[in-house]
Amino acid sequence: MDYSSYHHLEVTREGPVVTVTLNRPEVRNCIDKGLHGELGRIFIDLDMDDECDVVILTGSGGYFCAGGDLRWVLSMQGNPVTSSAGIRTDRRIQNSMLDLEKPIIAKVRGPAIGLGCSLALFCDFVYSTPEAVFADPHVSVGLVAGDGGAVIWPQLIGYARARKYLLTGDPIRGNEAAEIGLITEAVPDDELDDRVAALAARLAGGASYSIKWTKASINAGLKVTANAIIDRAGAFENLTQMTNDNRIGLEAFLNKEKPVFGGS
């Protein structure tokens, strides 16, 4: 498989283990149109890579992904054509991650926010430092969590806890995220690379078909639930991108101000 067309994702290979690194460290790996498009096709390409058995997903520069680039998100505000195109790509990302039978390990340092958080949580294993931050603050900028949060948080930690975080946008640190089952494990920073590499090697050295098809069996029920939610959450997110509150929220964040929503 040739990954040379990727510019915002760095794709490297060590035997059957392929590492995909979000590579916009100058902006904490925030997602813009280019990176978003590449995320929409990378898991499809990995599925077709016959030499890949395990995927590691991580970020460069000590950051996993600080969410959507606010200037890019603001450029779509109020435009149903561009916003609906973004929603379709979100849906493709979610479905391609669930469809990929090869196990995916998220290695998280720093922030995993918004879509960045969903990218991590849709992985089969999530290892982070205790200080890493997970959050889905869509509501903080007047949006619905339509890019995966409404799907995956309730499945991992239950509806009561998911509501606590999704309806407030509050962050959770890696150590507490591990304690409540949102992620697999919180590991000291100096041990994180070795722990993830050891797991990847173990999976790559295992019975690959049984591992892949066990993952597919586990995901079968999740995919049914996800597809009952994805379209509705995406449609609601698209609607909220047409609201004044969304514009107010985005502009406030860009100006480092507290948004004052008007309910419209």
pLDDT of residue 34: 98
pLDDT of residue 22: 98
Q: Does residue 89 contact residue 42 with C-beta atoms inside 8 Å?
A: no
Block mean pLDDT (10 aa), the chain, length 264: 96 98 98 98 98 98 96 92 93 97 98 98 98 98 95 97 98 98 98 98 97 97 92 93 95 92 93
9-190: in CATH 3.40.50.620? no
- Tell me how far apart the alpha carbons of residues 168 and 162 are, in angstroms, rounded to a whole number: 10
192, amino acid identity: L
Structure tokens, 104: 């995916």
In tens, the pLDDT along 66-77 reads 999 999 999 999
pLDDT of residue 123: 98
pLDDT of residue 113: 98
34 Cβ contact partners less than 8 Å away, ≥ 6 residues apart = 7, 8
- Tell me how far apart the alpha carbons of residues 77 and 141 are, in angstroms, rounded to a whole number: 11
Q: Report the first-to-last Cα separation within the chain, whole angstroms.
A: 48
pLDDT of residue 151: 96
DSSP codes of every residue in 37-90: HHHHHHHHHHHH-TT--EEEEEESTT-SB--B-HHHHHHHTT-HHHHHHHHHHH
Q: Where are the domains of the chain?
A: 9-190
Map tokens 């990176």 to a residue. 35
Greatest Cα-to-Cα distance within the chain, rounded to the nearest angstrom: 56
- Helix-strand-coil split of the chain, %, nearest 5: 55, 15, 30
pLDDT of residue 97: 98
pLDDT of residue 59: 98
Q: Does residue 137 contact residue 116 with C-beta atoms inside 8 Å?
A: no
